[in-house]
Chains A and B, each alone.
Chain A
Amino acid sequence: APLSQINQQDESFAKNYLKTFFNLTEESGPTVRRGFNPAAVKLMEMQRFFGLQITGTLDTDTLAMMKKPRCGVSDQKVARFS
């Protein structure tokens, strides 16, 4: 069931979600890795964990799952405790 269209605010929200719960880190400096989009990889991890369709893109189902009330412990198991 479609939600509203995904906008820039949603994308920013999703990025923060992935940083908080899937240990997404923002790359800085001149390093360019071809064919590697860390946000898409983390998005796929999240979609796999929740049994969503694995697209690697921010779709409405994925965004809806991100907006559900949840526990604040990272889903990347060791991230918080390593």
Chain B
Amino acid sequence: TFGGFKWEKNSLTYRIENYTPDMSAAEVDDSIERALQVWAQVTPLRFTRIYNGIADIMISFSRQAHGDGYPFDGPGGTLAHAFAPSTGIGGDAHFDDDEDFTFSSNRGYVLFLVAAHEFGHSLGLSHSDDPGALMYPIYSFSNPETFVLPQDDVNGIQSLYGANEDPVEPRPTAPPTPNACDSTMTLDAVATLRGEMLFFKDSFFWRSYPQSATPQQTRITNFWPNAPVNIDAAYESQQSDRVLLFKGRQVWAFSGYDLVSGYPKPLSSLGLPKTTKKVDAALYDVASRKTLFFVGSNYYSYDEAKETMDEGFPKRVDETFSGMSGKVTAAFQYRGFTYVYSGPYMFEYSLRSGRLFRVLRNSYFLRCT
């Protein structure tokens, strides 16, 4: 919060002073109304629209300098700003009309999402450092039709105003941002990227630098805007300097931040059978330059140089990885050792001998800080 600044009343007024040309007036009205309801659903706050005079929350679209001492900066950069609760300019929300606002498209900035964030400020919330929170300062697209206020934001606003005594039932709950300290967590995928380790879970991933004790958590789409979330598997092809992400029957390839032209492609483009519904895990073996794809209780070997599947596959996982009787959920290679995950456990192998050295937990590489 901004040091506890809050409205001393639960009934607030708002007024839309003008409209953006990017959307119809009805779409703006609807976006603003729903953005306020995001907060009303979890607090005793209620909002009434007025059409003239001074409202608690005055809403406007403007460009560059617009009279509050905080000029906008043209397209990109700052999208909007708002002022903490107080009289006068307090509570007001300004939107940069040099941006391209939209009703629901992922091209442009969804006004509902930007407004819901700004109204958090109007009600007294500062920024959150939880990358999954609405109050995180960086814009991230999500579908406005399925939006649910994340728990971090619920906690923040309820610390100021308390809970809604008359909640809409059943009250939707947002999945919490994955926590590296959750010892029961099953990672979706693990991969390397130019010396870093990437740990994927839900819409997020952690980047872990060998020289840093603190992993950095990011939304997948903040790093790769065209990437899928809730992925099944991932690996770094050191042969092609790409990261490949798998979800369902498709594979995406990224070079740096960019989706490689022609992707996503079907799994069959990698030589997997057309009947393959998903890849559970993938790892690139530096020594052989082969990639292993784990599918159910079997695995395949893909030759990165020849871009063909090796003969003699699939093989049973436990044929090569002794003691691996459970489902493989993630896999990667680091410093010559092969790590195969099954649930919250990680099995350390020598790929050459198939020998199992240790059974470890997620926290061995993904540190709880």
Seen from chain A, the residues whose Cβ lies within 8 Å of a Cβ on chain B are: 1-3, 20-21, 49-53, 64-65, 67-73, 75, 77-78, 80-81
The digit string for B299-338, where 1 denotes a CB below 8 A from any CB of A, is 0000000000000000000000000000000000000000
Question: Looking at chain B's contact residues, is the secondary structure mostly helix, strand, loop, or mixed?
Answer: loop
The reply on B214 being an interface residue by CB < 8 A is yes
Q: Which of B27-83 contact A (CB under 8 A)?
A: 70, 72, 76-83
The verdict on B147 contacting chain A, using a C-beta distance below 8 Å, is no
Distance in Å from the Cβ of A47 to the closest Cβ of chain B? 9
Given contacts A1-B257, A70-B139, A81-B2, contact A51 B79 (CB under 8 A): no
With A65-B138, A71-B81 as given contacts, are A77 and B126 in contact (CB-CB < 8 Å)?
yes
Instruction: Tell whether, in the assembled complex, residue B127 and residue A72 are in contact, meaning their CB atoms are under 8 Å apart.
Output: no
* Sample (6) of A-B pairs whose CB atoms are under 8 Å apart: A51-B218, A69-B99, A70-B138, A71-B121, A73-B82, A73-B126
Flag if A68 contacts B138 (CB, 8 Å).
yes
The smallest beta-carbon distance between A80 and chain B, in angstroms, is 8
Name, among B70, B77, B139, the residue most crowded by chain A CB atoms within 10 Å (CB to CB): B77
Q: Is the CB of B193 within 8 A of A1?
A: yes
Chain A nearest CB, measured from B134 CB (Å): 10
Most buried by B among A20, A52, A81: A81
Q: Is the CB of B217 within 8 A of A73?
A: no
Question: Interface size for chain B: under 10, 10 to 19, 20 to 34, or 35 or more residues?
Answer: 35 or more
Bound CA–CA A72/B216 (angstroms)? 23
| A77 contact set on B, CB distance < 8 A | 2-3, 126-127
